[in-house]
Each structure stands twice: as structure tokens, then as C-alpha cells.
Amino acid sequence: MSLYSQRGVSAQKEEVHKATEKLDKGLYPFAFCKMYADYLGGDENQINIMHADGAGTKSILAYLYWKETGDTSVWRGIAQDAVAMNLDDLLCVGIYDNLLFSSTIDRNKKNIPGEILETIINGTQDFFDDMKRFGVNIQYLGGETADVGDVVRTIAVNGTMTARWPKNKLITNEKIGAGNVIVGLASYGQSTYETTYNSGIGSNGLTSARHDVLHKTYGARFHESFDTSLDDHVVYIGPHKMTDEIKVDNLQLTIGNLLLSPTRTYAPIMKILLEQHFDKINGLIHCSGGGQTKCMKYLPHDFKIIKDNLFEPPVIFKLIQKASKSDNREMYQVFNMGHRMEIFTNEKDAESIINVSKQFNIDAKIVGRVEANNKKELLLKVGDEEIVY
């Protein structure tokens, strides 16, 4: 059993999928998000969508960093994580504007003071204000903030995003076909709309990252930061402290900086692509939970996906892999490993899509392709290794 499983988490969320398998799949069963008829307006040409996601256990990393450094600004990144994980999922069905957001924040008041709540809430609004500069309008409707110390040890930051959108402007993945190429948009670096270097970590796999990278002393000092019923051999088994320094792209950063890089949103890029290159896009996948295997869930037919030109894994993933001793199969199933947005398109259209991304200083390239097959299959080429899922 992998360390990931021993910690009570699953990259593939098998039990979650089993629990929801009998639910209606919505109007478009292969779309990245579930959509329904326009119950809000009664227009047969529109759809309604309501989507929920959050920062996950990344908030515990923020807690540890704050306790160690006293820096409350780190919580602004958690606010962005909770929004971006929703927003970028909706981008994958073609929705990028006129969105509503409601936050759900559960905290343990004993450990999380009011100033942190204020930082998260104001950070959420500031992120919306920033996106508005790019024509991505999100209205903050408030939400539920509850003191539930018997339920959470620190804080859980989540949200729900809602939209109404025309059917003829949706990406449903039904156009994915043999002969398509896959353009990947890098998850790391510093885009023109980011103020600091982004490690590419996103908001997935943070339970593994936290325990595999950080030193045993964190468990001894902060019992509230982990499930105390876990076996000691899987709790904080790494070599690093949050404040350990590391050089990345000639920048002097800390381990905490890398682990807590706010989840990058691709909204500024995707707005242009969806407005100006809509007909070139056959499918969209957000490589979140499930990492580089996420695409398998949304294929409309039996295809073989071959990813043989992946990005070199960013430093943060190399650190995690070295500390955890995980093999490539597990790493690519848990983490994005270098690109978090995939655009399925025709080969002749790939360059124009890549150029839009590079306008924002986000690297992009063809990472793979789609082939006809008698079953759904994924082949990753990582160096000299071939991994089949």
C-alpha cells in the first residue's frame, strides 16, 4: 500500500466516485463539469452550473508556515486556491465570465484567530478584483463561515461557483477524436499576472507533500495539523523545515514558498482562447485530482492517449519524489508534474493556442496526442520509462 493510501487519502477518489455513480450525469456526460437545463431562466439555449471545490489540506501547510513565521499574508494564497480550483474547472467547459462565488469556511476558533478569517475573505475579493482586469467577472456573494472546532482541527477553505451559460459556447469534450494533439499549459514559472514565482504545486497531493517533505518536529509541535490516529511512520517523515532555503531559477526561495505557491488560474489565457479560438478547441482537461491521468475520465470514446513530450518536472515535484521515494507511476497519478491545463485541438491549430499562452509568459507545448484504440488507455513516457494506465 502506498504512503498516500496509508494516510487515508486517494488520488483517484474511488470511493467518492462509487458513492456518486448513480447520480444523473447531466446534459453532457463527458464534460469536465456537470451541467443541467436552465432552471433559473427557463431558456432552452442556456445551461446552469454549480460547482464546488476548495484548497484542501493546503490550508494546514499555511497554518504551519504562519505558526513558524508569523506571516499572515500566506492565507491570501489559500483564498486564491479555493477560487482557482473552482474557476479553472469551469474554464474546462468554456465558462469564463459572469460567475457567482460563495465561500464555505470552517475553522477551529481556538487555533485560527479572526485576523486569518479577515485575510482569507479580503484575499478572495482582491483575487476577483485582479481577474476583473482581464475581463473575468466574478461576484462574491459571501457564504458560510462557521466555528466547528469539534469537526476541524485548524481550518477548511472551500467554495461554490455558479454560472448560466449559452449551450453554443460550451466545451463538452465530445469533439475529442483520434488525430487530436494535446497542448499543455505549464503550471510553474511566473506569468505576467503573477507577482511571484509559482512552483506549480496547485492544490492537489498536499497531504503527501506535507508529510513527505516536512520534518518530524512538525508532528511533535503541532498535533492539530494531522490525524493523530495515523501510524507514526507516515507522519512528517521528510528532511525539510518550512524556512529551509533553495535556489530556483536564480531566485532564493524557501520550502514554504514552494509548497504554498497559490494555485495558478489560466483564466486570462482561456478567456482569449474561448473568445477568439473557440472552434479550435475540441476538449479541455484540468489536471487536478488524478494528475496526468485525469484525462482518462472524460474521453467520449475508446482512445489511446499518448503523452510523450511532457514538461521537465519542476523542482517542487523532484523534492517530493526524492523525500517520499515514490515511483513515477504514483507521482504522475497524484501531481500535475508540470502542466495543469490540457487543450485538445487539431495539430494545425496548436501553434496559435501556444502563442496565446506565451503572451502571458506561461510556457506551452504539444505534450501528447490521441489515437484510435479498442479501450481507454493512457501511455506516459517519462525519460526512458513507459507507464501505462
State the pLDDT at residue 2.
Answer: 62
- What is the rounded CA–CA span in Å between residue 68 and residue 58? 16
Q: Which three cell numbers stand for residue 355?
A: 502563442
CB 287 within 8 A of CB 200: no
pTM of the model: 0.94
Write out the chain's pLDDT in tens, 389 residues: 566 566 666 555 567 657 777 778 899 999 999 999 999 999 999 999 999 999 999 999 999 999 999 999 999 999 999 999 999 999 999 999 999 999 999 999 999 999 999 999 999 999 999 999 999 999 999 999 999 999 999 999 999 999 999 999 999 999 999 999 999 999 999 999 999 999 999 999 999 999 999 999 999 999 999 999 999 999 999 999 999 999 999 999 999 999 999 999 999 999 999 999 999 999 999 999 999 999 999 999 999 999 999 999 999 999 999 999 999 999 999 999 999 999 999 999 999 999 999 999 999 999 999 999 999 999 999 999 999 99
What pLDDT, on a 0 to 100 scale, did the predictor assign at position 239? 96
In this structure, what is the dihedral angle of CA atoms 269, 293, 329, 264, given to the nearest 10 degrees?
20
Buried b (16+ CB within 10 A) or exposed e, 306-336: bbeebbebbbbbebbbebbebeebbbbbbbb
Query: What is the full DSSP assignment across 192-246?
Result: TT-SS-B-S-TTSSHHHHHHHHB-THHHHH-GGGS-TTS-GGGSS--SB-TT-EE
Q: How far, rounded to the nearest angstrom, does the alpha carbon of residue 55 sit from its chain's CA centroid? A: 9
- Considering the segment(s) 3-196+261-388 as one domain, its CATH architecture is 2-Layer Sandwich (3.30)
Nine cell digits for residue 21: 455513480
* pLDDT for res 210: 96
CB 273 within 8 A of CB 343: yes
Q: Hey, is 93 helix, strand or coil?
A: coil
Which residues, 6 or more positions from 53, have their beta carbon under 8 angstroms from its beta carbon?
82, 85, 86, 89, 158, 159
Q: What is the CA radius of gyration of the chain?
A: 20
Output the pLDDT for position 106. 98
Domain ranges for the chain: 3-196+261-388
HSE at residue 28, side-chain half, CA atoms within 13 A, is 24
